[in-house]
Amino acid sequence: MKKTEVVPDVYWVGAVDWNIRKFHGETFISNRGTTYNSYLITDEKVALVDTVYTPFADEMIERIRHIVPPEKIDYIIANHVEMDHSGSLAKILNLCPKAKVFCTAKGKEGLYKHYYGNWDFHVVKTGDKLSLGKKTLTFIEAPMIHWPDSMFSYLIEDELLLSNDGFGQHLATSERFDDEVDEGVLMDEAKKYYANIIWPFSSIVFKKIDEITKLNISPKIIAPAHGIIWRKSPGRIIERYMSWTKNESENKVIVVFETMWGSTGKMAGKIVEGLIDAGIRVQLYDVTKTVRTEIIKEMLDAKGYILGSSTHDNDMLPTIAGFLTFLRCMKPKNRVASVFGSHGWGGGAVRNIENFLKDMGIEILQPSLAVQYAPDEAELEKCYEFGLNFASLLLKNKIMQNV
């Protein structure tokens, strides 16, 4: 088994989960798998930073054993309570029962409520330091990146930030570093991860990056607990995070619809034609055909959302209802939207979607467009104009914002 050294005496001892496709239940569809990254620091004291999801415990232990006997571990740093990182704590602690477990106060509570182990907990706060001999770890509490218990660990001498869920990607690869993988795929996965997991906590992340800068921490390497390690371009991912945390968006429109017999789908096609003719970049999704995780990723930096559904029993269709519930959890800011759909008699979908979006604080840019049953030529023309008009309002809105 090959040893993977991140910097001298710091090893990756995690596991690659090639086949996971449903992460956090079905909240994240991970088409490219994931990794659980643990790091072993072999100084005068031996420290393990994070563990792996339980089914991969033996793989992690084997990797550790190739470097030092697991019995030699003095300290375990538990940056995060969630089971993908804490799931192998009990198993590794069986091998090094005297090891001290370092975590935040919320981490101690949360780890106890998961595993009920009477472990030797040491609660740390931002700025606390732990000397390992030549190397020193310092801790930075990072509540809500990803849970209230989360923290980052920073290896001062190596300028190595162990950021746990922050800056991660669900990407299973044989390579470990950003200079070894396809840049496009890596950034796409980082964006997908941010959009579906980190987006709701954007203002917290923004403040945390600012706080880290003020602490004079400017990491040369960022080693997250999922996916690839950023050693070539840690500045680049921080830059992207700053843009995402500010909810910056482009003049791009995402059209998402659901249809039973195709009428709302026809409307969607014409709306998109109008948007394209107005020079707007568009992505069109039938919400039943593309995984939500992918659509949410595209929505992260799109200024405009157009949502469509036909009416089913006075309301929107169920898949788009679930989609909107997820989108609401992501708390998108500074977006504009419009709604359309086909109905038979009393309608309801269009009204309910519009209200849903308004309740989320999204500005409705123009009146909704509702059509009875299958749209005729004149109604399709209205759909085209709906797209054109949305585009021109979007461009005006952007210009007004820039003033």
Ligand X SMILES: Cc1cc2nc3c(=O)[nH]c(=O)nc-3n(C[C@H](O)[C@H](O)[C@H](O)COP(=O)(O)O)c2cc1C
Among the listed ranges 67-75, 193-201, 277-285, 337-345, the one in contact with ligand X (CB under 6 A) is 337-345
CB-wise, 275 or 370, nearer to ligand X? 370
CA distance linking residue 297 with residue 290, whole number of Å: 12
Output 172 or 320, the one with its CB closest to ligand X.
320
Residues 339-398 that bind ligand X (CB under 6 A): 342-348, 373
Query: Is 286 one of the binding residues for ligand X (CB under 6 A)?
Result: no
Give me Rg for the CA atoms of the chain. 24
Q: How far is the CB of 170 from Fe ion (least distance, A)?
A: 9
CB of residue 177 vs ligand X: minimum separation in angstroms? 48
3-state secondary structure of 104: coil
Q: Is 74 a residue of the active site?
A: no
Q: Is 259 in the site for ligand X (CB under 6 A)?
A: yes
- How far apart, in whole angstroms, are the C-alpha atoms of residue 23 and residue 16? 14
Closest CA to 164 of 38, 20, 5: 38
- Smallest gap from residue 256 Cβ to ligand X (A): 13
248 catalytic residue (yes or no): no
Among 26, 62, 261, 363, binds ligand X (CB under 6 A): 261
User: How many whole angstroms separate alpha carbon 311 and alpha carbon 350?
Assistant: 8
**What, of ligand X, Fe ion, none, does residue 146 touch, CB below 5 to 8 Å by kind?**
Fe ion
Residue 66 annotated in active site: no
Q: Is 90 exposed, middle or buried (0-12, 13-18, 19+ CB in 10 A)?
A: middle
Using CA atoms, how far apart are residues 46 and 403, in angstroms rounded to an integer? Answer: 56
Q: How far apart are CA 189 and CA 359, in angstroms?
A: 30
In this complex, which beta carbon is closest to ligand X, that of residue 279 or of residue 346?
A: 346
H or E segment at 220? Answer: none
Instruction: Answer for the pair 321, 356: CB distance below 8 angstroms, yes or no.
Output: no
293: partner contacted, choices Fe ion, ligand X, none (Cβ within 5-8 A by kind): none
**Residue tagged active-site, from 9, 226, 305, 384:** 226
Residue with smaller CB distance to ligand X, 260 or 329: 260
Candidates 34, 37, 263, 293; binder of ligand X (CB under 6 A) is 263
- By a kind-dependent CB cut-off of 5 to 8 A, residue 264 interacts, out of Fe ion, ligand X, none, with ligand X
Which residue in the set 293, 310, 338, 352 belongs to the binding site for ligand X (CB under 6 A)?
A: 310
Q: What is the DSSP string of 247-304?
A: T--EEEEEEEEE-SSSHHHHHHHHHHHHHHHTT-EEEEEETTTS-HHHHHHHHTTEEE
Minimum distance of Fe ion from residue 83's CB (angstroms): 9
Q: How far apart are CA 298 and CA 292, in angstroms?
A: 10
Interface residues toward Fe ion, by CB under 5 A = 82, 84, 146, 165
If contact means CB under 5 to 8 A according to the sort of partner, which of Fe ion, ligand X, none does residue 42 touch?
none
Which one is catalytic: 146, 178, 285, 379?
A: 146
Nearer to Fe ion, 59 or 165 (CB): 165
Active site includes 170? no
In the complex with ligand X, the residue whose CB is nearer, 94 or 314, is: 314
165 a catalytic residue: yes
Near ligand X in 225-244, by CB under 6 A? none
Residue 308, CA distances (Å) to 49, 143, 276 in order: 46, 36, 18
Which positions are annotated as active-site residues? 24, 80, 82, 84, 146, 165, 193, 226
Residues that bind ligand X (CB under 6 A): 259-264, 310-314, 342-348, 373
